Structure 1
Amino acid sequence: MKSAPKITVLDYGSGNVRSAVRALEHVGAEVTLSHASEDVLNADGLLVPGVGAFAAVMEQLKKVDALRWIGRRVAGGRPVLGICVGLQVLFEEGVEHGVSTPGMGEWPGTVERLAAEVVPHMGWNTVEPPEGSRLFAGIEDERFYFVHSYGVQRWDFDVSQPAMTPPQVTWSEHGGRFISAVENGPLCATQFHPEKSGDAGAELLRNWLRTLG
């Protein structure tokens, strides 16, 4: 019998981590809530939650030295899943109230206020995953739960290097198109909250666990 995948949920002061822990346990993972380097580096998968402002999350990640450990995992091809602001900080920068904060720079793009009459974008919405998406396999037409005021609304990935496989990008709409998920080899992230998205969110987490090998 195959052993349960060992997942670390990064504990760095972000809210709502318990629901992520429970959701992963529900789909069969063995979960540790920690920011210790050995737990972050040695887990089969790392989940990076994020609630609140881009700048505050970046500051909290720095305080526990998490940026270094996340970077180590990404560089080593070890699976990472970001959620909500955990997706946003993987981009180059976030702009809030006219102030720019550098992100991790794993992907090109700027996190900006959504171009919608009603903000925050709160509630259920559809997604437009690309063909061949592993995260959305079997749940391409489902709805997922969003709570956010900011997002990445343009994708400018450089595909001039033929040896590079471009990331798969999923889009949603709220006053305009924004990125709702990215799949980039071992590095994946969702703008929505799978842990709050019922059966569809649970299946997405199962799909992620299946990618861990």
Structure 2
Amino acid sequence: MIAIIDYGMGNLHSVSKAVERLGYEAVVTNDPERILAADGAILPGVGAFGDAMDNLKAANLVDTVLAYAASGKPLLGICLGMQLLFSESEEHGLNRGLNLLPGRVVRFTGSYKIPHMGWNRLSFKQESPLFRGLEEGHVYFVHSFHALPEVAADLLATTDYYQEVTAIVGRGNVYGMQFHPEKSGSVGMRLLDNFLSLSGAKRAVSQG
């Protein structure tokens, strides 16, 4: 079973449906026991960083997410959920994150269009089980802030938007995708499928 962590700010329906399309059982939940019992967990997110952390704290889910990461089972942050994995964000003032990955989330600055919205090509920086059977391709981004990992080994893939932009991060069993894999066609779905396969969960149904 794959837990989609519900703290009131996620793209829950589209993520859970994508997991189900790949043949896995998905449960949208804010119950710590169900989350900790899951084979894999996804932390989605849409909105502001500080509000998201406040919601996680109000739902008593910060310790749950940290305990899940410490369990060794695969955890994936998507979009804002990826940013929450980092130490801090400068969105609407300085806000502390989950600190699972050292680094800072900063706003795009420049005369180009913000938010960064649209399809951009991934550039793989190192080998990862997420990239199994996959060539570099385009995925769909919507974001005004981007992560700056402190540790080069945590940076798995980038894209180009007037600068090199963090697209995929990973350390051990903890992964993050800045884009929306569930909205990114075959490349996004393959990345999501490769993540789900790390959970060891059995597919509920065979893929058509």
Give me the TM-score of the superposition, normalised by structure 1: 0.89
Q: Would the aligned equivalents of 1:167 and 1:185 in 2 still touch at CA under 8 Å?
A: no
Q: Residue deviations 1:1-55, cap 9 Å, x none?
A: xxxxx10101110142100000000001101010101111000001000101111
2:166 matches 1:210: no
Match of 1:194 among 167, 181, 195: 181
In the alignment, structure 1 segments of 5+ residues that lack a partner are 1-5, 159-165
| AA of the residue aligned to 1:100 | L
Give me the TM-score of the superposition, normalised by structure 2: 0.91
CA distance in 1, matches of 2:28, 2:167: 25
Q: Residue deviations 1:148-175, cap 9 Å, x none?
A: 00001x33228xxxxxxx4352111212
Question: Counterpart of 2:161?
Answer: 174
In the alignment, structure 2 segments of 5+ residues that lack a partner are 201-208
Question: Counterpart of 2:71?
Answer: 76
Question: Counterpart of 2:105?
Answer: 111
Runs of 4 or more consecutive aligned structure 1 residues displaced over 4 Å after TM superposition: none
After superposition, residues 19-30 of structure 1 pair within 5 angstroms as 19-30=14-25
Q: Would the aligned equivalents of 1:181 and 1:188 in 2 still touch at CA under 8 Å?
A: yes
After superposition, residues 41-120 of structure 1 pair within 5 angstroms as 41-97=36-92, 99-116=93-110, 117-120=112-115
- Change in 2 beyond 3 A, CA 1:15/1:108: closer
Q: Would the aligned equivalents of 1:115 and 1:176 in 2 still touch at CA under 8 Å?
A: no
CA distance in 2, matches of 1:37, 1:129: 34
**Deviation, structure 1 residue 115:** 3.1
**Deviation, structure 1 residue 176:** 1.1
Question: Counterpart of 2:32?
Answer: 37
